[in-house]
């Protein structure tokens, strides 16, 4: 039986070479799928390239709306920042890409699923586990992990097969979705070197940003943003609009050392303007409407959710278990947050909510609020009881030791 393989196709050199490789080495028919999650590529050109390389069929699937609503919005509810820094903009898109590939595979009775990830990154983990979870009967094919071709050998192979190779060697390896842009390779691999300006496309350098601050007001309902500056917006529109606004103020540049799943530490550069602003605003609003106990517990749930998604386990049942808690907590997360954007900085400067637990009368110095200050004395007594006892005991032991050494 002829193998029929569905390949995640970006239009780049690696996956173009893969088409030919699969046709030759696997004697397979290849179906390519490009899922648009906001990578701002020319989808028509990508389709033409695939067709020129003799694929059985090429699919170009616009999943931007679905991505915003069903993947990015849950990440906002979970305050998802991997290792406190990275809004998991690449990680989030992988399970959706696979979902779309599997739909195509079922339609064509495919025998295998293929991706072009290397053996050093996180994406291979995400693709493989999502493939295996959604289509356990299909073969997983990841040739780049095995073929051991150098860049030069790959280019030579491409030229031999009539694949166009762009003359200008690409300076960086880029991955984009509406939630952010990740920039890797080249000079960025020197962890001690400030990223050059040409690495950035979505954010202006903070030094060059306008000298006047801009305020944005974000309204949240059930934990997700529903309007921007009093204009009701669909998830996709809200995110892309905010990417532009915050980017113009140089907001959203991220530079950090990241722990990849496979153990390698990597220096990562991202620009995620909308994510940076929305996650900060959301977290701030939670502080106003959730109790301290909810917030403390939710932090650990959020961390676990974010790790699962980063680590390729979107399809593990634990994600939905955690979301049951997260979604319940988000029923109360509504209100407005005002943020100030200025030359790379982003700050919450105001928030309000019908469900606020913040009470100005309780916190101020007015003594006629009903808060019984005299009760605090007793509370502190009990709150610090064990701490006090532990210290009394320590002092007693120290004194006994001193008395013993004096005798010797
Ligand atoms: N380190 C990030 C992640 O694992 C970004 C990876 C970018 N991926 C890529 N294929 N260039 O999610």
Domains recognised in the chain with CATH numbers: 4-171 (3.40.50.620), 204-254+271-360 (3.90.1260.10)
Burial annotation 236-250 (CB, 10 A radius, 16+ → b, else e): bebbbbbbebbbbbb
Edge-to-edge strand ranges of the sheet holding 231-232: 231-232, 224-228, 214-221, 335-342, 345-352
Q: What is the pLDDT of residues 121-131, one digit of tens each?
A: 999 999 999 99
CB of 14 sitting under 6 A from ligand 1: no
CB of 294 sitting under 6 A from ligand 1: no
Pocket-testing residue among 41, 85, 121, ligand 1, by greatest number of atoms within 8 A of Cβ: 121
Tell me the C-alpha distance between 169 and 172, whole Å. Answer: 9
Tell me the C-alpha distance between 148 and 118, whole Å. Answer: 10
Contact predicate 114/92, CB 8 Å: no
So what's the pLDDT on residue 227?
98
CB of 268 sitting under 6 A from ligand 1: yes
CB of 91 sitting under 6 A from ligand 1: yes
Tell me the C-alpha distance between 41 and 226, whole Å. Answer: 27
Which tokens hold the place of 9?
Answer: 């196709």
Nearest to 136 by CA among 114, 115, 112, 119: 112
Q: Is 267 a catalytic residue?
A: no
Q: What is the pLDDT of residues 332-351, one digit of tens each?
A: 999 999 999 999 999 999 99
Contact predicate 22/5, CB 8 Å: yes
Pocket-testing residue among 184, 271, 313, ligand 1, by greatest number of atoms within 8 A of Cβ: 184
In Å, what is the CA distance from 23 to each residue of 315, 355, 395? 30, 60, 78
Q: Is 164 a catalytic residue?
A: no
Q: Is 14 a catalytic residue?
A: yes
Contact predicate 326/78, CB 8 Å: yes
**Distance (Å) from CA 123 to ligand 1 centroid:** 7
Nearest CA to ligand 1 atom 11: 175
Q: Is 255 a catalytic residue?
A: no
CB of 336 sitting under 6 A from ligand 1: no
pLDDT tens for the chain, 408 residues long, are 899 999 999 999 999 999 999 999 999 999 999 999 999 899 999 999 999 999 999 999 999 999 999 999 999 999 999 999 999 999 999 999 999 999 999 999 999 999 999 999 999 999 999 999 999 999 999 999 988 888 888 889 999 998 988 766 678 999 999 999 999 999 999 999 999 999 999 999 999 999 999 999 999 999 999 999 999 999 999 999 999 999 999 999 999 999 999 999 999 999 999 999 999 999 999 999 999 999 999 999 999 999 999 999 999 999 999 999 999 999 999 999 999 999 999 999 999 999 999 998 888 877 677 788 899 999 999 999 999 999 999 999 999 999 988 877
Q: What share of the chain is helix, strand, coil (3-state, %, to 5)?
A: 50, 20, 30
Could you say which of 16, 89, 91, 94 is catalytic?
A: 94
């Amino acid at each position: 039986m002829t193998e029929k393989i569905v390949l995640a196709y970006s239009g780049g050199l690696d996956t173009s070479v893969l088409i030919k490789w699969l046709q030759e080495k696997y004697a397979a028919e290849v179906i390519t799928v490009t899922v648009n999650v906001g990578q701002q590529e020319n989808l028509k050109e990508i389709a033409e390239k695939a067709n020129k390389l003799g694929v059985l069929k090429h699919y170009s699937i616009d999943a931007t709306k679905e991505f915003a609503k069903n993947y990015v919005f849950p990440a906002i509810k979970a305050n998802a920042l991997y290792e406190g820094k990275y809004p998991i903009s690449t990680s989030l898109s992988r399970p959706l890409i696979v979902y779309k590939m599997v739909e195509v595979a079922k339609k064509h009775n495919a025998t295998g699923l293929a991706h072009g990830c290397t053996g050093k990154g996180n994406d291979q983990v995400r693709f493989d586990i999502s493939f295996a979870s959604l289509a356990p009967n299909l073969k997983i094919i990841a040739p780049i992990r095995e073929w051991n071709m150098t860049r030069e050998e790959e280019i030579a192979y491409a030229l031999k097969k009539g694949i166009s190779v762009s003359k200008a060697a690409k300076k960086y390896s880029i991955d984009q979705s509406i939630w952010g842009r990740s920039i890797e390779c080249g000079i960025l691999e020197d962890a001690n070197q400030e990223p050059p300006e040409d690495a950035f496309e979505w954010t202006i350098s903070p030094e060059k940003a306008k000298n006047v601050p801009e305020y944005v007001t974000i309204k949240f309902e059930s934990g997700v943003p529903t309007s921007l500056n009093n204009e009701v917006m669909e998830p996709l529109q809200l995110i892309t609009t905010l990417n532009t606004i915050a980017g113009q103020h140089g907001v959203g540049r991220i530079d950090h050392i990241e722990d990849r799943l496979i153990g390698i530490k990597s220096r990562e550069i991202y620009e995620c303007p909308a994510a940076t602003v929305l996650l900060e605003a959301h977290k701030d609003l939670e502080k106003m409407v959730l109790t301290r106990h909810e917030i403390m517990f939710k932090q650990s749930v959020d961390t676990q959710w974010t790790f699962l998604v980063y680590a390729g386990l979107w399809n593990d049942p634990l994600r939905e278990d955690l979301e049951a808690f997260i979604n319940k907590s988000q029923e109360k997360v509504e209100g407005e947050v005002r943020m100030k954007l200025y030359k790379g900085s982003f700050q919450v400067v105001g928030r309000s909510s019908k469900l606020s637990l913040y009470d100005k009368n309780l916190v101020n110095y007015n003594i006629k609020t009903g808060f019984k200050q005299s009760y605090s004395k007793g509370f502190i007594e009990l709150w610090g009881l064990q701490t006090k006892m532990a210290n009394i005991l320590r002092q007693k032991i120290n004194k006994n030791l001193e008395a013993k050494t004096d005798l010797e």
